[in-house]
Structure 1
Amino acid sequence: MAQVRRLRTGAAADAGINVRPAARSNLHVTVAFLGEVPDDRLGTVQEALSRAVELWHRPPLRRRRSRSGEETSAAAEHPGSSGRPPPRLRLGGGGRFGRGRFTVLWVGLLGEVDALHRLAETIRRELRRSRIPFDWRPLRPHLTLARPGDRLDRASIDEDLSVLDSYLGPCWPATELVLVRSHLGPRPTYDRLAAWPLGS
């Protein structure tokens, strides 16, 4: 968050302009968006997510071809390994969603984002199997920094985008998948409903 304070958006927030900066406690990477889920379906969602994380943890299979041309499969793991390590990510680059009063400023994710894509694909497959509706749009790994809308001029937003474009943060592990319920509004909040470790 120290980097955010160096942006025009951060300076505006410090000056009392309502650019709706994301609270540190609310920072997250959405890998699947479910929308409205009735309470009586939450158990089904949790079961689907449990299966997805279990499948994601399984080591990838290596294909082997015998002399006769037949294929066999073997887990690509070392003796004693218990699954995947958590994906290591870092913040870098950035962008803007929307324009005018709908402007959202975000910072991108770099590092082992392929692991996040595999996780998202596995989650969506299990949600589909359980007939849980979800947003089909492709995963674009990012953290929302602020929702300045039209309360900052375009030149300030463009300057922030230029700063984000050259930013490269430290590496950190994504250690868990969390199911949250969102309460949207001027100050969004999130209720933590369940979590699954992403590290072995």
Structure 2
Amino acid sequence: MRLFVAVHPPPEAMTDLAAQVARLRIGQAAAAGTNVRLADPVDAHVTVAFLGEVADDRLPTVRDALGRAAGPCRGPEPPRLRLGGGGRFGYGRRTVLWVDVLGEVERLGVLAGRIRDELRVAGLPYDDRPFRPHLTIARPGDRIDVEEDRTTLDGYLGPSWPATEAVLVRSHLGPVRRYEHLAAWPL
């Protein structure tokens, strides 16, 4: 099974972001029928750790490791985050447009580090690329140039929200991607 750990923005933050995306060139292209692969706001998430493929029988070990990682990261108040600014990853067919995560992101970084430590100790897989909290807006590939949208996002600042939990998510790939929440830990 394909797994990752995420923080989900609340509907209010996603409604605000959706209004911003609708004003971008990429939003207008989507409204006109261009397949720019806008991210579904219902599935929007900030990936804290990506595990990738994990054998089904290792799921209890994953849950235990994540519980150990999340416990010490729990504060008296959940971290306050907001979406704002933005950027791009990749070029051509691999272009991804994203919005940045701002606020108490250092707490997410500590959580990401603890998760990786616990996964390593448990002999579980994880992506060890540097933690860069972001929320994917679209995967337009080479169907539209996103540079103007990336620049426009520099002026965007969404509402602040509390990140109340870290969620273990299973990703079901296929023609229609589906996400299944398997467990959660308070932050």
| Number of residue pairs matched by the alignment | 170
Alignment CA distance shift 1:185-1:33 (3 Å): same
1:66-123 CA distance string (max 9 Å, x none) = xxxxxxxxxxxxxxxxx43111011111111110111110000111000100111111
Tell me, in whole angstroms, the C-alpha distance in 1 between the residues paired with 2:22 and 2:173. Answer: 24
Map of 2:150 onto structure 1: 161
Of structures 1 and 2, the one with the larger relative CO (CA 8 A, separation 6+) is 2
Quote how far apart the aligned CAs of 1:184 are. Answer: 3.1
Map of 1:54 onto structure 2: 71
Any conservation in 2 of the 1:20–1:186 contact (CA below 8 Å)? no
Which residue of 39, 44, 52 corresponds with 2:61?
A: 44
Map of 2:37 onto structure 1: 20
Tell me, in whole angstroms, the C-alpha distance in 1 between the residues paired with 2:51 and 2:72. Answer: 20
1:38-74 CA distance string (max 9 Å, x none) = 10001100000011111212xxxxxxxxxxxxxxxxx
Q: Once superposed, what is the RMSD of the aligned Cα atoms? A: 1.1
Map of 1:105 onto structure 2: 97
Would you say 1:4 and 2:21 are equivalent positions? yes
Alignment of 1:1-200 (within 5 A): 1-57=18-74, 83-152=75-144, 154=145, 157-185=146-174, 187-198=176-187
Tell me, in whole angstroms, the C-alpha distance in 2 between the residues paired with 1:163 and 1:95. Answer: 10
Quote how far apart the aligned CAs of 1:23 are. Answer: 0.4
TM-score by length of 2: 0.88
**What is the identity percentage for the equivalent residue pairs of Structure 1 and Structure 2?**
66
Tell me, in whole angstroms, the C-alpha distance in 2 between the residues paired with 1:174 and 1:13. Answer: 29
Paired amino acid for 1:5: A
Tell me, in whole angstroms, the C-alpha distance in 2 between the residues paired with 1:3 and 1:195. Answer: 29
Quote how far apart the aligned CAs of 1:185 are. Answer: 4.4
1:106-148 CA distance string (max 9 Å, x none) = 0001110001001111111111111111010011000000000
Local SS of the residue matching 2:160 = strand
Query: What residue ranges of structure 2 are gaps of 5+ in the alignment?
Result: 1-17
TM-score by length of 1: 0.82
Quote how far apart the aligned CAs of 1:5 are. Answer: 0.5
Q: Which of these two proteins has the greater Rg computed from alpha carbons?
A: 1
Tell me, in whole angstroms, the C-alpha distance in 1 between the residues paired with 2:176 and 2:38. Answer: 9
Structure 1 runs of 4+ off > 4 angstroms?
Answer: none
